Amino acid sequence: MKVLVTGAAGFIGYHVCKLLQARGDDLVGIDNLNDYYDPSLKLARLASLGEDFHFEKIDIADFSALSDLFRREGFDAVINLAAQAGVRYSLENPQAYVSSNLDGFVNILECCRHFPVRHLVYASSSSVYGNNSKIPFEESDCVDHPQSLYAATKKANELLASCYNNLYSIPATGLRFFTVYGPWGRPDMAPMIFAKAILAGDKIRVFNNGNMLRDFTYISDIASAVVAVLDKVPKGHEVYNIGCSNPVNLMDFISSMEKALGKAAQLDFCPMQAGDVVATYASCAKLKRDFGYKPQVQLAQGLQLFVEWYISDNNPIK
């Protein structure tokens, strides 16, 4: 297939591109390479994809550039991973989320409408579940009470994709990712923040006094599921959780990180951060039923692999 991957220089985008490259797809990647976090990490990911990787610096919020690309390339499928990420940053810069996650996503849908593709796969988020008390979270649960603007934009993406499917018959699949971690990860997420602080002897801010649960999901399980979903075109619009179905207490996560690094953490216990949720917990029964999904990497192994990368020369920002 000829596949467009947006957000190709991002954490998940990079790993998805590696898999698509390995199996020989005709691949085009785009990214706006913004400075939400250190662009040198994004550039290093792109460099790791090799000189033959077809990359163009395009912002999905730029409809003219995006539509020109669709017209020129004639894609069979699109994996839209480009988005302004981060729950906490949405409190500081809401316009970035409107531009990328709303305007940009509508631009993707419009391009898929005018330059038809077989399948649009797009990133949603476990954040859409908010503080649901029913666990594990299932795709059929009510997601009408987001706790952050970021979560609201992801819920909006699902509604927009469903609408475009109804109106224009665009087959689309939304993926609700649960706390992704692993090599080449984002520096604004817990594994990178904690590893840096522990090794430097700095304090880690532990929100809600450590009383939080996260369904940590290793990046290879995420990327493999994305590619599997891409290959199966739905009849309409579908949504799937991609998690590990094994939520871990934040203090246990820190303990596992300490073991992997061989050094104790200095902790600064803090109250709950605005926009955060107490727990995430994925039911992956639907993904298992339709794709045989079973996560392969458990937390201890995943953190060891992450730490090996983090302290290696492949990490440009350690």
* Number of independent structural domains in the chain: 1
Tokens of 113: 């409408």
The reply to whether 120 falls in a domain is yes
The CATH number of the domain holding residue 53 is 3.40.50.720
Long-range contacts of residues 249-254, Cβ cutoff 8 Å, at least 24 apart:
249/210, 249/211, 249/212, 249/213, 250/206, 250/207, 250/208, 250/210, 250/211, 250/212, 250/213, 250/214, 251/206, 251/210, 253/190, 253/214, 253/216, 253/299, 254/194, 254/204, 254/206, 254/210
Confidence (pLDDT) at 88: 85
Confidence (pLDDT) at 273: 85
The reply to whether 161 falls in a domain is yes
Q: Which residues contact 144 (CB under 8 A, 6 or more apart)?
A: 155
pLDDT tens for residues 250-269?
999 999 999 999 999 999 99
pLDDT tens for residues 267-304?
999 999 888 889 999 999 999 999 999 999 999 999 99
Distance, CA of 4 to CA of 25 (rounded, Å) = 10
Evaluate whether 213 touches 281 at the Cβ level (below 8 Å): yes
The model's pTM: 0.96
Parallel/antiparallel/unpaired status of strands 248-249 and 213-214: antiparallel
Question: Which stretches of the chain are DSSP H helices?
Answer: 11-23, 39-48, 63-73, 94-97, 105-114, 149-168, 190-200, 219-230, 250-261, 285-291, 299-310
The reply to whether 139 falls in a domain is yes
pLDDT tens for residues 117-165?
999 999 999 999 999 989 999 999 999 999 999 999 999 999 999 999 9
The reply to whether 197 falls in a domain is no
The reply to whether 194 falls in a domain is no
Q: Which domain holds residue 137?
A: 2-181+216-245+281-295
Confidence (pLDDT) at 71: 98
Confidence (pLDDT) at 169: 97
The reply to whether 128 falls in a domain is yes
Asked whether the predicted pLDDT for residue 21 surpasses 90, the reply is yes
The reply to whether 8 falls in a domain is yes
Which residues are known catalytic residues?
150
Asked whether the predicted pLDDT for residue 12 surpasses 90, the reply is yes
The reply to whether 20 falls in a domain is yes
Evaluate whether 234 touches 173 at the Cβ level (below 8 Å): yes
